[in-house]
Amino acid sequence: MQATTNPDLAPRQASLMEELRRAEGELSGQDLHARLRGGPGAMGLATVYRHLRQLQQRGLVRCRHLPSGEALYAPTERDEHHLTCVDCGTTIVLTHCPVHDLRLPGEELDGFLPMYHTLEFFGLCSRCRKAQPPD
């Protein structure tokens, strides 16, 4: 499998990519399903998830799971990381990628072609920290 900047996508995958790129933040499968409904790119929810999985396998889409179990999707070209509160689920977007300049030593890659990375932080937001009873 080769990562290319302009992969030829199936029409449905192209609609999904377009919708994900247009979105300000991440989208769930349900969001995508709702946004495409009634338009030329409309497809069933199961089809949305099947194509999202294929886009993930091609390294074009990444998936993040919230503590609630909800899965959110975003294009991998958008290098974005989050702080997620395990208590209330609040998400804060980091303005910089903490590992952008990280280089993997070639000898460790053993021919592996990295396409994208994910890095998420989980903890307590300031509001939930204040709400915690003191020990």
Give contact residues for Zn ion (rule: CB under 5 A).
79, 85, 87-88, 90, 97, 125, 128
Q: What is the C-alpha to C-alpha distance for residues 121 and 103, in angstroms, rounded to an integer?
A: 20
**If you search the block for the tokens 């990444």, which residue do you land on?**
62
* Minimum gap (Å) between residue 74 Cβ and Zn ion: 12
Q: What is the C-alpha to C-alpha distance for residues 117 and 135, in angstroms, rounded to an integer?
A: 37
Q: Let me know: does 74 contact 58? Beta carbons within 8 Å.
A: no
**Amino acid, res. 102:** L
* Minimum gap (Å) between residue 123 Cβ and Zn ion: 9
* Minimum gap (Å) between residue 110 Cβ and Zn ion: 23
